Amino acid sequence: MLSVLHNPRYAGAFVYGRTRQRKVIIGAQAQYRKLPRAEWKVFLPDAHPGYLSWDEFEANQAALRSNAAGYGTERWKTPAREGAALLQGLVLCGRCGSRMTVRYVRRHGQLSPDYTCQRRGIQTGGPACQIVPGAGLDQAVAAAVLQAVTPAALDVALEVFEELRAWKAEVDRCRRAAVTRCREEAELAQRQFLLVRPEHRLVADTLERQWNEKLARLAAAEEAYRRTVEADAPALVETDRDRIHALATDLPQVWADPRTPMRERKRMLRLLLEDVTLRKGEQTIQLQLRWKGGATSVLERPRPLGAPDVRRTPPAIIEEIRALATAQTDRQIGATLNGRWRRTGTGQPFTRLRVRTLREAYGIPSLAAHLRQAGWLTAVEIAAPLAVHYTTAKRFAREGVLRAVRADDKGDWLFAPLTGPLPRAHPGKRFRDRRQYPVPQSTPQMREEVQYEA
């Protein structure tokens, strides 16, 4: 069936000489090579009634060439499928130039495409050339395509198209002038041949040969001009312009419609893009889009985070913990972060244990460590110079005689270094020392701890 689709007789044409036979070594088997159409010995279109027109046959051949990715390195495209990979069949490897395939990985309950260059790895048994996650890349390419069909972009494209049409018109005028020149030279050679006397046979033969050469040159120029005219696109009329402008509003709606199948989105994409080249760097992924017509554009996307980085707490929150650890305990830090609607890398609220784990993982000193480094003393250490029991030192802290804070969530006290006259405990039962040290305003949590203890 496939040989019938490739046979020109299916379109009503008679051809001969599509292959060439060649023997490399005497006695060896002959080798056959398919020839391009320009080298066919005989090509007669419309020689007999066909099942379809020659234009339809050419369109079918183009579709077959684009779909037959396994029969040549120049055929990169594959038919649009139903999968979620938008760039399926259009992706080329930016390292080795091979066509990249698609494999799907389930992430967060959804299928996500990965573009893989593994052809040489399969042939040599080595690792894949590169594996590029494609979820963010598909979105970037879709946004670039939709942006390319905005009204402003289409106006610029139409202006460029008109300039190209004017340039082609000038080229067409030059080609018609060349055909006219060949026709005039052929007519001149004809008149010279007709004016020669019959007895001058040598002159007549020379003029006849020149006339034949002029006629052959005229036929070649007319055939080249005819092919050029057939290949040129027709000029745009006003209705065509209106349809192009309507495309700028219709395409985004059709693209975003959930009822549009993924296969149709891929087919719409192939109307604008020729291929996409991917190259993964250390920090970014580079996309080179090659549009229909030869224009190219380059996009860059950051590389997606790995599994550990996705679950890691953001650096900004770590810096907040580092700043809060100088004045708050782990429990207070967790309450502050939850009040700011901060969450861990896994999306969990902060607790005392989670804050402590993060502190120890990133080497952040606790409030007690900060205070001890600043010279603050424990209850036992400050009770020695006062010649009192450490419980008496805690009572001094509750009554405001000494500056003290709770340095951790266990309730351990730390006291500011002693300055000035030392308080003395009275042996009476209701001792009240009026030399109270005010609680500094810069640390309101100290006042809260003292009131709570009282």
Q: What is the pLDDT of residues 78-102, one digit of tens each?
A: 777 888 888 888 888 888 888 888 8
According to the model, what pLDDT value does residue 238 have?
58
- The alpha carbon torsion through 92, 96, 98, 104 (nearest 10 deg) reads -60
According to the model, what pLDDT value does residue 323 have?
93
Who has greater pLDDT, 421 or 175? 175
- The first and second tokens of residue 218, run together, are 């005229």
Q: What pLDDT digit, counting tens, does each position of 388-447 carry?
A: 888 888 888 888 888 888 888 888 888 888 876 776 666 554 444 444 444 444 344 444
Question: How far is CA 137 from each of CA 276, 283, 369, rounded to the nearest angstrom?
Answer: 10, 14, 47
Q: Is the pLDDT of residue 161 over 70?
A: no
- Report the distance separating Cα 34 and Cα 40, nearest Å: 10
Dihedral sign (CA 206, 208, 214, 219): negative
Residues 62-81 as b or e (16 or more Cβ within 10 Å = b): eeeeeeebeeeeeebbbebe
The number of CA neighbours under 13 Å toward the Cβ of 148 is 18
Q: Is the pLDDT of residue 201 over 50?
A: yes
According to the model, what pLDDT value does residue 336 have?
93
The three-point CA angle 157-160-164 to 5° equals 135
According to the model, what pLDDT value does residue 27 have?
56
Who has greater pLDDT, 196 or 330? 330
- The alpha carbon torsion through 9, 13, 17, 20 (nearest 10 deg) reads -50
Who has greater pLDDT, 432 or 246? 246
Who has greater pLDDT, 304 or 220? 220
Percent of the residues in the chain that have a pLDDT greater than 70, as a whole number: 80
Paired with 31 in beta bridges are: 22
According to the model, what pLDDT value does residue 242 have?
62
Of the segments 19-33, 186-200, 230-244, 351-365, which one has the largest average pLDDT value? 351-365
Beta-carbon contacts of residue 306 (< 8 Å; ≥ 6 apart):
none
According to the model, what pLDDT value does residue 447 have?
41
- Mean pLDDT across 244-255: 66
According to the model, what pLDDT value does residue 339 have?
92
According to the model, what pLDDT value does residue 354 have?
92
Biggest alpha carbon–alpha carbon distance for the chain: 160
> What's the whole-number average pLDDT of the chain?
79
- Report the distance separating Cα 42 and Cα 24, nearest Å: 26
Q: Is the pLDDT of residue 325 over 60?
A: yes
Q: Would you tell me how many other CB atoms lie within 10 Å of the CB of residue 216?
A: 12
Beta-carbon contacts of residue 220 (< 8 Å; ≥ 6 apart):
none
- DSSP H helical ranges for 15-94: 54-67
Place 74 in a pLDDT band, splitting at 50, 70 and 90: very low
Q: Is the pLDDT of residue 72 over 50?
A: no
Who has greater pLDDT, 356 or 171? 356
Paired with 22 in beta bridges are: 31
Instruction: Give the 3-state secondary structure of residue 272.
Output: coil
According to the model, what pLDDT value does residue 244 have?
60
Instruction: Give the 3-state secondary structure of residue 282.
Output: coil
Could you report how far apart the first and last alpha carbons of the chain are, in Å?
96
According to the model, what pLDDT value does residue 444 have?
46
**What are the φ and ψ backbone dihedral angles of 273, each rounded to 5 degrees?**
-105, 140
Of the segments 43-47, 237-241, 332-336, which one has the largest average pLDDT value? 332-336
Which sequence spans correspond to the domains of the chain?
A: 1-67, 151-236, 315-453
According to the model, what pLDDT value does residue 335 have?
93
Who has greater pLDDT, 50 or 443? 50
- Mean pLDDT across 350-367: 92
Q: Would you tell me how many other CB atoms lie within 10 Å of the CB of residue 313?
A: 20
**CA-based nearest residue to 377, from 352, 348, 402:** 402
**CA-based nearest residue to 408, from 325, 309, 316, 290:** 325
According to the model, what pLDDT value does residue 417 have?
86
Q: Is the pLDDT of residue 108 over 50?
A: yes
